[in-house]
Chains A and B, each alone.
Chain A
């Protein structure tokens, strides 16, 4: 038996009107694992992310993070508890510089008050300097430190993806949720991203949950994979097990048609 799980989803479900987007989902994540969540389009993967991070409140079941039930908490509180995310369609702060994007995520770790900032008290300068140092450290790891003053919207696509991960890390998470980090990347960029994810996990001692369409990326780096289809968990296991699971093949490629049925 392993140690206490970092994240546990218990019979999680959400209903939008008459549509059950996710139904009776059970997942367990342990410390320092790298888990993949895959499934065809519309399977409810991003909905799961949105429930974990508090954007949606689940209508059934529980989300337990480090022994604490967190469903229903607003997103900023979930983030402060130690869950941070990236978005499927990049959501950077476009008109802020690269450095400021990271600093924003550093926000809740700094302690100087509104009052001290308004009147430029010593605490303000200490706090801001610390934020700057921490943010620059992160940018260096992500090789974005040379571009710190560039506006986020002017970065090339691959770098925006990287910056988004850097920003998510700046919130000092224990659990990092990546929503299709390799979407739209070329194979070279994907390869670099895979290395980066590995490195980040080790460096920051993180648990990572990854949504991805790029099968190679998922099979290559994830230790366990959950497969969703139509809001339901259809398979769970290592890459090898998933690859050979008939249900997964069916969900992705359609049902196998036997010759007998045709005649």
Chain B
């Protein structure tokens, strides 16, 4: 079967990437700066892919993703630092709490459309940030000390699970229902799709993985502060998705890798960093307004190339 061949290809590629990086890290070829960057890339891909499900697939313009990231980060930090429970449990708790928040926020706000939804989700993220800012238990504005626990293994395994589950969801009747909502909500409704259910579902799944990414994020730095989760963070994630091409999972992955690298290496030039970053964005939007991948997936592109080569020969 074609699908399973694709699946195994993905698994093998993932294993190879994992093994190579792991070997490089253990032999010390890769210094901590690079391994940290790789972990950060994994986290950003998870954020991009989880938001891609909400914006790219279901077509709901949510720009409060940093809110779920913050929830996951703080809750998992509480689990490890205050309750002294294992890290893996902390990640799951972070994900579940974020998903639950997604459910509570999603049910009323997903009745809104377009701009209104964007404003409501933005407001939600700010509320979360302000709440953490005012809770002394998690350090308030000074932030919360977190032990460094995120390793390449944790980050990469979480990433692979995220991608597999979200792509499985997308390529099923449920994912098609979500895409139908993106394409034409009235028609989707008329075809017997419970649009509210699927919008909330996509939102909850997206929030869950953002929460897990939050757990990894918190334990990758030594401190988390509410200001890390402001609306600029939400926009960062949004940019990954838009730049990659709305509706393309591989596009989100590619743009998350690209932009994380760009912003990491531009850290050496702090005064020009944001200028160059915006130049990159403007150039991409000028020459690829549909995003890097459009709505296509990398597998489609490869298949296309192959069939063209076959025709040529």
Q: Which of A's residues lie within 8 Å of B, judged by CB?
A: 53, 55, 74-76, 79-80, 84-85, 87, 91-96, 100, 103-108, 110, 112, 114, 117-120, 124, 127-128, 131, 167-168, 170-171
Give the nearest-CB partner of A75 in chain B: B189
A-B contact pairs, 12 of them (CB 8 A): A76-B195, A79-B191, A80-B192, A84-B190, A91-B184, A100-B176, A100-B179, A103-B173, A104-B191, A117-B169, A127-B173, A167-B191
Give the nearest-CB partner of A114 in chain B: B174
- Taken together as a complex, chains A and B put the C-alpha atoms of A222 and B69 apart, in Å, by 59
Q: Tell me, yes or no, whether B149 is within 8 Å of chain A by CB.
A: no
Task: Say whether B192 contacts A112, CB under 8 Å.
Answer: no
Q: Tell me, yes or no, whether B227 is within 8 Å of chain A by CB.
A: no
Task: Say whether B169 contacts A104, CB under 8 Å.
Answer: no
**CB neighbours of B175 from chain A (8 A):** 117
Give the nearest-CB partner of A93 in chain B: B183
Q: Which of B's residues lie within 8 Å of A, judged by CB?
A: 165, 168-169, 172-177, 179-180, 183-184, 186-195, 201, 247, 295
16 further A-B pairs in the complex, CB-CB below 8 A; given A92-B184, A171-B191: A55-B190, A79-B192, A84-B191, A85-B190, A91-B187, A92-B187, A93-B179, A107-B176, A107-B177, A108-B192, A110-B173, A117-B168, A117-B174, A119-B165, A128-B172, A167-B191
Task: Say whether A107 contacts B186, CB under 8 Å.
Answer: no
- Taken together as a complex, chains A and B put the C-alpha atoms of A168 and B194 apart, in Å, by 16
Out of A75, A76, A103, A124, name the residue touching B176 (CB < 8 Å).
A103
- Taken together as a complex, chains A and B put the C-alpha atoms of A93 and B184 apart, in Å, by 6
**CB neighbours of A118 from chain B (8 A):** 165, 168-169, 172
Judged by DSSP, the binding face of B is helix
- Taken together as a complex, chains A and B put the C-alpha atoms of A74 and B186 apart, in Å, by 11
Given A87-B187, A104-B180 in contact, is the A131-B173 Cβ separation under 8 Å?
yes
Task: Say whether B183 contacts A94, CB under 8 Å.
Answer: yes
Task: Say whether B192 contacts A171, CB under 8 Å.
Answer: yes
- Taken together as a complex, chains A and B put the C-alpha atoms of A231 and B188 apart, in Å, by 28
Q: In the assembled complex, how far is the CB of residue A196 from the closest CB belonging to chain B, in whole angstroms?
A: 20
- Taken together as a complex, chains A and B put the C-alpha atoms of A55 and B173 apart, in Å, by 24
Given A91-B184, A92-B187, A96-B180 in contact, is the A76-B173 Cβ separation under 8 Å?
no
Q: In the assembled complex, how far is the CB of residue A154 from the closest CB belonging to chain B, in whole angstroms?
A: 14
Given A76-B195, A107-B193 in contact, is the A114-B201 Cβ separation under 8 Å?
yes
Q: In the assembled complex, how far is the CB of residue B172 from the closest CB belonging to chain A, in whole angstroms?
A: 4
Give the nearest-CB partner of B188 in chain A: A104
Task: Say whether A74 contacts B187, CB under 8 Å.
Answer: no
Out of A74, A112, A168, name the residue touching B189 (CB < 8 Å).
A74
Out of B165, B180, B190, name the residue touching A79 (CB < 8 Å).
B190
**CB neighbours of A74 from chain B (8 A):** 189
**CB neighbours of B172 from chain A (8 A):** 112, 117-118, 124, 128
Give the nearest-CB partner of B4 in chain A: A120
Task: Say whether A95 contacts B183, CB under 8 Å.
Answer: yes
Task: Say whether B186 contacts A55, CB under 8 Å.
Answer: yes
Chain A CB within 10 Å — which of B174, B177, B201 has the most?
A: B174
Q: In the assembled complex, how far is the CB of residue A101 from the closest CB belonging to chain B, in whole angstroms?
A: 8
Q: In the assembled complex, how far is the CB of residue B50 from the closest CB belonging to chain A, in whole angstroms?
A: 14
**CB neighbours of A107 from chain B (8 A):** 173, 176-177, 191-193
Q: In the assembled complex, how far is the CB of residue A18 from the closest CB belonging to chain B, in whole angstroms?
A: 26
- Taken together as a complex, chains A and B put the C-alpha atoms of A87 and B196 apart, in Å, by 21
Give the nearest-CB partner of A117 in chain B: B172
Give the nearest-CB partner of B195 in chain A: A76
**CB neighbours of B193 from chain A (8 A):** 76, 104, 107-108
Q: In the assembled complex, how far is the CB of residue B170 from the closest CB belonging to chain A, in whole angstroms?
A: 9
- Taken together as a complex, chains A and B put the C-alpha atoms of A131 and B247 apart, in Å, by 23
**CB neighbours of A112 from chain B (8 A):** 172-173
Task: Say whether B183 contacts A105, CB under 8 Å.
Answer: no
Task: Say whether B189 contacts A105, CB under 8 Å.
Answer: no
Q: In the assembled complex, how far is the CB of residue A188 from the closest CB belonging to chain B, in whole angstroms?
A: 27
**CB neighbours of A91 from chain B (8 A):** 184, 186-187, 190
**CB neighbours of A53 from chain B (8 A):** 190
Q: In the assembled complex, how far is the CB of residue A184 from the closest CB belonging to chain B, in whole angstroms?
A: 18
**CB neighbours of A95 from chain B (8 A):** 179, 183, 247, 295
Q: In the assembled complex, how far is the CB of residue B289 from the closest CB belonging to chain A, in whole angstroms?
A: 16
Out of B183, B192, B247, name the residue touching A76 (CB < 8 Å).
B192
**CB neighbours of B177 from chain A (8 A):** 104, 107
**CB neighbours of A128 from chain B (8 A):** 172-173
- Taken together as a complex, chains A and B put the C-alpha atoms of A118 and B165 apart, in Å, by 5
Task: Say whether A104 contacts B176, CB under 8 Å.
Answer: yes
Q: In the assembled complex, how far is the CB of residue A97 from the closest CB belonging to chain B, in whole angstroms?
A: 10
What 9 A-B pairs are tightest by C-beta distance, nearest first? A117-B172, A79-B192, A93-B183, A91-B187, A108-B192, A105-B191, A75-B189, A104-B180, A76-B192
**CB neighbours of A85 from chain B (8 A):** 190
**CB neighbours of B169 from chain A (8 A):** 114, 117-118
Out of A87, A103, A110, A120, name the residue touching B168 (CB < 8 Å).
A120
- Taken together as a complex, chains A and B put the C-alpha atoms of A117 and B178 apart, in Å, by 14
**CB neighbours of B184 from chain A (8 A):** 91-94
Q: In the assembled complex, how far is the CB of residue A100 from the closest CB belonging to chain B, in whole angstroms?
A: 6
